[in-house]
C-alpha cells in the first residue's frame, strides 16, 4: 500500500514537475471541454429562431417571380400549398402539431405592405407573436376585418390603434400593435390578418385557392425530426423549401461549421497531447528516482509496494490536472455564456423584395450563446484521463520497481 505522507512529501519536494504534469493535462482537458461547450452553445443558438415560435420545421414551396408588382402577389419563395397538402403534413408520422399561414406582398399607392394571414388559435407559429403586444389587443379566432400592425412600421407610418388601414383594396381596423423584434423574426410582416381574410385577398387576386396557404409550421417528435422533414419535402415535391435548425447552422457560416464538425477531433487530439505530456513527465520523474527506488528496495519494500507508491503519486498529479482542467473549462464556458451571437434568418422565411432601396432586408436574431458543460462528457473525459494515467504509471512504475538495488546505485 502507498504511504500517503511519502506521496505528499515527494510531490511537494518537486513542485515544478508536479505542476508541469498537472497543468499539461489541465490545458488539454479544458480545451476539449470548452470546444464542446462552444459547439453546443452555437447549436442551441441555431435553434432559437424556430424555438421562438415553438416550431421545429417550416415547410414552403418555391414559386415563380411575380410577373407584375401590383396588388397582392406571392414572394417567389412561396407558392400555394393546398388544404389537402397541409392536412397531409399534419398527418405525417412523428408530427405533433402544425400551424398554417399565408404571406403575401401588397403593392398599393407607391407602398409595399408585407402581410401575413394567420390563425391565432393555433398553439405554434405566428400566434406566439402575441407575446410582443405593445398596444391594443391581438387577433382572436372569430376576428374579421381587423389587423395588427408591426410596432416599428406603425410608428414610421404614424398609425395608431383605432385607425383604419388599407390592404389590397380592402380596409381593416387596427386593433393592436406588436413588437415583432421581441418575438422572433420568422414570418416577419408589417401587417397581421386573420387567415380567412388573407385567403379572400389572395383568392380574389387569383394567386391561390380559397383555402390555400403557403407556410406550414411543424412541431415534430425530437427523435423523428429529420425523418419528418424528409417526408414533408417528398410530399411537396422538388420545389419544396424545408427550413430546420440545420438551415440556421449553415447560415452561421464556415467558422461554426468547422468547429461543429471538427471540435471533437481537435479536443481529442488536445487530450492525447496532454496525456503524452503527462507520460513524459512521469517517465522523467521515475528516471530521476532510480536511486530512491533502490533505497526503498534495500530497506525491504516489495515490488508491489514500490509500484503502488509511484502509481499513487501519478494518480494525484492526474487528479490535480483534472480538477484544474474542469475549473478552467467552467471559467471559459462562463465567459462564452456572457456573449451573444447573431443568427441570420433565411430570406425565404421573411421575404422582402430585392428591388427595394438597399435591397432585401437581412433579418437576424441576436441571442445569448448558451454554452454549457455536459456532465456526462466531463465524467467520460476524467475517467479516460485517469485510466490513461494509471496505465502509464503502472507500466513505468513496474519497470522502476524491477531495478535491482545494486544496479541503481551503480548507475548513480
Answer yes or no: do 121 and 40 share one domain. no
CA neighbor of 101 nearest in space, from 202, 205, 29: 202
236 lies in the same domain as 353: no
Query: For 171-204, what is each residue's pLDDT tens digit?
Result: 999 999 998 875 556 778 899 999 999 999 999 9
Task: Say which residue, 71 or 49, is predicted with more confidence.
Answer: 71
- 368-380 average pLDDT score: 83
Domain boundary among 206, 222, 243: 243
Q: H-type helices in 52-194, by residue range?
A: 83-90, 151-157
What's the half-sphere exposure (Cβ side, CA atoms, 13 Å) at 294? 15
Q: Which of 199, 218, 243 is the last residue of a domain?
A: 243
Of 81-85, 241-245, 311-315, least confident by mean pLDDT is 311-315
- Does the pTM surpass 0.85? The reply is no
124 vs 206: CA distance, rounded Å: 28
Predicted local distance difference test score (pLDDT) of residue 406:
53
Residues 62 and 91 in one domain: yes
Among 243, 272, 305, residue at a domain's last position: 243
DSSP string computed for 301-342: --HHHHHHHHHHHHHHHHHHHHHHHHHHHHHHHHHHHTSEEE
The count of structural domains within the chain is: 2
Question: How far apart are the C-alpha atoms of 127 and 125, rounded to whole Å?
Answer: 5
Supply the pLDDT for residue 199.
95
230 and 259: one domain?
Answer: no
Answer yes or no: is 248 within a domain.
no
C-alpha cell at 194: 386573420
> What's residue 211's pLDDT?
94
Can you give the residue range of the structural domain that contains 157? 57-243
353 has a pLDDT exceeding 80:
no
Residues 237 and 304 reside in one and the same domain: no
Please check whether residues 35 and 180 belong to one and the same domain. no
**Per residue in 158-191, is it b (16+ CB within 10 Å) or e — as a string?**
ebebeeebebbebebebbbbbebeebbbbbbbbb
Q: Is residue 236 part of a domain?
A: yes
Name the more confident of 389 and 79: 79
Backbone angles phi, psi at 124, to 5 degrees: -120, 170
At 200 the pLDDT is 94
- pLDDT at residue number 1: 47
Q: Do residue 132 and residue 257 come from a single domain?
A: no
- Per-residue pLDDT at 237 exceeds 80: yes
pLDDT value of position 351: 74
Is the same domain home to 72 and 14? no
**Highest-confidence segment of 5-14, 47-56, 151-160, 289-298:** 151-160
Q: What is the pLDDT of residues 302-331, one digit of tens each?
A: 666 666 777 777 777 788 888 888 999 899
Same domain assignment for residues 306 and 220: no
Same domain, 180 and 39: no
Amino acid at each position: 500500500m502507498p504511504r500517503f505522507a511519502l506521496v505528499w512529501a515527494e510531490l511537494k519536494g518537486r513542485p515544478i514537475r508536479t505542476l508541469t504534469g498537472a497543468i499539461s493535462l489541465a490545458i488539454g482537458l479544458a480545451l476539449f471541454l470548452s470546444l464542446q461547450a462552444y459547439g453546443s452553445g452555437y447549436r442551441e443558438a441555431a435553434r432559437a429562431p424556430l424555438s421562438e415560435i415553438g416550431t421545429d420545421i417550416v415547410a414552403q414551396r418555391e414559386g415563380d417571380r411575380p410577373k407584375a408588382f401590383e396588388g397582392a402577389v406571392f414572394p417567389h419563395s412561396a407558392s400555394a400549398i393546398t388544404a389537402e397538402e397541409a392536412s397531409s403534413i399534419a398527418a405525417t408520422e412523428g408530427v405533433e402539431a402544425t400551424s398554417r399561414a399565408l404571406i403575401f406582398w401588397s403593392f398599393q399607392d407607391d407602398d409595399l405592405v408585407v402581410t401575413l394571414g394567420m390563425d391565432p388559435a393555433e398553439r405554434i407559429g405566428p400566434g406566439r407573436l402575441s407575446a410582443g403586444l405593445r398596444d391594443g389587443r391581438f387577433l382572436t379566432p372569430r376576428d374579421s376585418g381587423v389587423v395588427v400592425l408591426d410596432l416599428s412600421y406603425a410608428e414610421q407610418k404614424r398609425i395608431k390603434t383605432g385607425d383604419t388601414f388599407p390592404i389590397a383594396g380592402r380596409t381593416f381596423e387596427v386593433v393592436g400593435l406588436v413588437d415583432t423584434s421581441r418575438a422572433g423574426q420568422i414570418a416577419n410582416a408589417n401587417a397581421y390578418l386573420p387567415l380567412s381574410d388573407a385567403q379572400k385577398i389572395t383568392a380574389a387576386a387569383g394567386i391561390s385557392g380559397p383555402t390555400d396557404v403557403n407556410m406550414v409550421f411543424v412541431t415534430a417528435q425530437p427523435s423523428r425530426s429529420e425523418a419528418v422533414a424528409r417526408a414533408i419535402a417528398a410530399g411537396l415535391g422538388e420545389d419544396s423549401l424545408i427550413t430546420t435548425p440545420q438551415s440556421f447552422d449553415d447560415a452561421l457560416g464556415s467558422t461554426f461549421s468547422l468547429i461543429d464538425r471538427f471540435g471533437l477531433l481537435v479536443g481529442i487530439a488536445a487530450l492525447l497531447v496532454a496525456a503524452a505530456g503527462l507520460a513524459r513527465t512521469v517517465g522523467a520523474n521515475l528516471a530521476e528516482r532510480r536511486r530512491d527506488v533502490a533505497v526503498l528496495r534495500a530497506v525491504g519494500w516489495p515490488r508491489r509496494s514500490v509500484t503502488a507508491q509511484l502509481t499513487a503519486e501519478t494518480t494525484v498529479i492526474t487528479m490535480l490536472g483534472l480538477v484544474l482542467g474542469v475549473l478552467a473549462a467552467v471559467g471559459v464556458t462562463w465567459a462564452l455564456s456572457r456573449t451573444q451571437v447573431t443568427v441570420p434568418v433565411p430570406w425565404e422565411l421573411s421575404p422582402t423584395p430585392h428591388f427595394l432601396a438597399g435591397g432585401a432586408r437581412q433579418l437576424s436574431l441576436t441571442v445569448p450563446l448558451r454554452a454549457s458543460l455536459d456532465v456526462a462528457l466531463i465524467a467520460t473525459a476524467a475517467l479516460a484521463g485517469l485510466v490513461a494515467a494509471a496505465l502509464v504509471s503502472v507500466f513505468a512504475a513496474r519497470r522502476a520497481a524491477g531495478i535491482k538495488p545494486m544496479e541503481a546505485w551503480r548507475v548513480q
